[in-house]
Amino acid sequence: MSHKTYLNLIGGEHYPARSGKTFLNLNPADHSDVVGEFPASGSQDVDAAVAAAKKAFATWRLVPAPKRAEILYRTGQLLQERKEQYARDMTREMGKVLAETRGDVQEAIDEAFYVAGEGRRLFGKTTPSELQNKFAMSIRMPLGVVGMITPWNFPMAIPSWKLFPALVSGNTCVIKPAEDTPLSTFNLVQTMIDAGLPPGVVNIITGFGPDAGAPLVEHRDVRAISFTGSSEVGSIVAQRAAANFKPISLEMGGKNAQIVLDDANLDLALDGALWGAFGTTGQRCTATSRILLQKGIAKEFTERLVERAKKLRVGNGLDAAVEVGPQVNEQQIETSKKYVAIALAEGAELLTGGVPLSEGTHLNGTFFAPTVFGGVTPQMRIACEEVFGPVVSLIEFDTFEQAIQIANSIDYGLSTALYTKDVNRAFAAIRDLEAGITYINAPTIGAEVHLPFGGVKQTGNGHREGSEAIDFYTTWKAVYIDYSDKLQRAQIDNAE
Ligand code: ADP
């Protein structure tokens, strides 16, 4: 079957990689289905893209923010029209089921409308000067060219979280999407161009991390980097960016706990656990990978969870009857297998799953059975390290205080959930859980675009996307306007 070839987008024109190298984007549910062929870019391609973005910055920064925002608003409208097609493209390139890829496009739509409103805010501050006849204010300024490196699990939503706030703030962008999911970035950026985005304001370079991502991080004309991916790569990226003091926003791993207390609505907690653990095949940074069960309900919850996990239909996400899609690639399958072996060696009890699925309709894809481990203790590696697959660990506890302590006993701090009817415990958990996001009676996944998104500890480096993203994509300028017509010296002339 012939497939489509895509080229890098640089300054509004399309170019192959200078090296001529390409790579194939395969459907993880069926490797005989080639989604497209993309440039395997290197540093020369990055240089060209950064130069185009730098050139475009000279004019884009002068476009009034409400006008920049109108392009985002139109992008949101066009995405609504294209939602179904883009969701199908995304399921083909990434695997998650259609309901979820529709949600992914919807998140980009929500972000477009939310950020478009920001075009008429971008508020600065005014404050009284300590001197007479002097006016003082602070205003937000764009940074310049911003580099973005994105992962494959939210192929349109995550690029939109980065591009839209950067653009409304007046920056221009070079984005390096994950090698498994470049098509969704092309779909997003094409929509922006159709909505009126001028050439060079967003540039796309496709390829692999060390070849195409690293030169972007190191480029002297790139003023900031926004990265979402693994903590391992995030650490490399941060160290490289530190060499020239580049601001960097890191959004990385999680080992998210759902706590279920004895008084919880068990049906609700079960629904939440299944969705949190196996939605997106467990490949979300907010996925539920630890379920902490209070002793009174642990046995019943475990039995019911395992029974339902066994019944989940795993298959091609384009099939409406399928509930869990494939893992994105062979490497992720290997990681799931590795952690199953580790868990077994540590003495955890495999309650269901634990193996790749490779027969019948699963023959040509990278599928893994929904996997539940019982008898897990908080110190086991399976309870501490991110798997990024459909693998969940059950940990039992006696008291609420123990649950909080176990939930916090990891290096990550992204999302947490508590199921209880006790309002006092709910508020105590909100206060005590070390995480950027806490849900009460809802699963660990389900962030909305207009709240802060991000985590503490090794999940991030303190920045937030969502409602607070503008803080990263702008820098402050303090402005003093003296209308006294004489020299007034701060700290000196008003000192008596
Ligand atoms: P994930 O497992 O979610 O894909 P990764 O951290 O492996 O997370 O990748 C996230 C993004 O980082 C991808 O776009 C990938 O190509 C890119 N990347 C990987 N290695 C590097 C690197 N050394 N420098 C810059 N970017 C990289």
Identify how many contiguous H helices and E strands the chain contains and give both numbers: 13, 25
Under the banding of pLDDT at 50, 70 and 90, the label for residue 494 is confident
Closest approach atom of ligand 1 to CA 152: 4
204 lines ligand 1 (CB under 6 A): no
Closest approach atom of ligand 1 to CA 149: 14
Chain position carrying tokens 């503008």: 470
Model confidence at 495: pLDDT above 90 = no
pLDDT tens digits for 161-208?
Answer: 999 999 999 999 999 999 999 999 999 999 999 999 999 999 999 999
Asked whether 281 and 326 are in contact (CB, 8 A), the reply is yes
**3-state class of 119 per DSSP?**
coil
Under the banding of pLDDT at 50, 70 and 90, the label for residue 1 is low
What pLDDT is recorded for position 496?
65
pLDDT tens digits for 317-368?
Answer: 999 999 999 999 999 999 999 999 999 999 999 999 999 999 999 999 999 9
Q: Which residues contact 319 (CB under 8 A, 6 or more apart)?
A: none
CA–CA separation, 350 and 343 (whole Å): 8
Ligand 1 binding pocket mutation candidate from 23, 38, 148, 149 (most atoms within 8 A of CB): 149
Tell me the torsion sign for CA atoms 326, 328, 333, 336. Answer: negative
Q: Is 8-252+460-478 in CATH node 3.40.605.10? A: yes
Tokens standing for residue 247: 């601001």
Under the banding of pLDDT at 50, 70 and 90, the label for residue 429 is very high
Give the distance (Å) from ligand 1 centre to CA of residue 232. Answer: 9
More confident of the two residues 244 and 170: 170
CA–CA separation, 89 and 81 (whole Å): 14
Ligand 1 binding pocket mutation candidate from 233, 237, 239, 249 (most atoms within 8 A of CB): 233
Largest CA distance in the chain: 87
Residue 214, CB half-sphere, CA atoms under 13 Å: how many? 10
Asked whether 51 and 100 are in contact (CB, 8 A), the reply is no
CA–CA separation, 425 and 174 (whole Å): 45
236 lines ligand 1 (CB under 6 A): yes
Model confidence at 231: pLDDT above 80 = yes
329 lines ligand 1 (CB under 6 A): no
Model confidence at 107: pLDDT above 70 = yes
Residue type, 469: A
Give the distance (Å) from ligand 1 centre to CA of residue 282. Answer: 18
CA–CA separation, 312 and 8 (whole Å): 39
Domain ranges of the chain: 8-252+460-478, 256-440
Model confidence at 244: pLDDT above 90 = no
Distances (CA, A) of 148 to 28, 328, 341, 372: 24, 21, 35, 35
What CATH number labels 256-440?
3.40.309.10
Write out the DSSP string of 373-401. EES--TTSGGGTS---SSEEEEEEESSHH
Catalytic residues: 251, 285
Distances (CA, A) of 122 to 57, 75, 277, 329, 453: 18, 20, 37, 40, 19
What pLDDT is recorded for position 161?
98
pLDDT tens digits for 372-399?
Answer: 999 999 999 999 999 999 999 999 999 9
Closest approach atom of ligand 1 to CA 179: 16
Asked whether 328 and 153 are in contact (CB, 8 A), the reply is yes
> What whole-number percentage of the chain has pLDDT above 90?
99
- Nearest-CA residue for atom 1 of ligand 1: 229
Q: What value does the mean pLDDT of the chain take? A: 97
> pTM for the full model?
0.97
230 lines ligand 1 (CB under 6 A): yes
Asked whether 473 and 452 are in contact (CB, 8 A), the reply is no
Residue type, 93: E
Model confidence at 220: pLDDT above 90 = yes
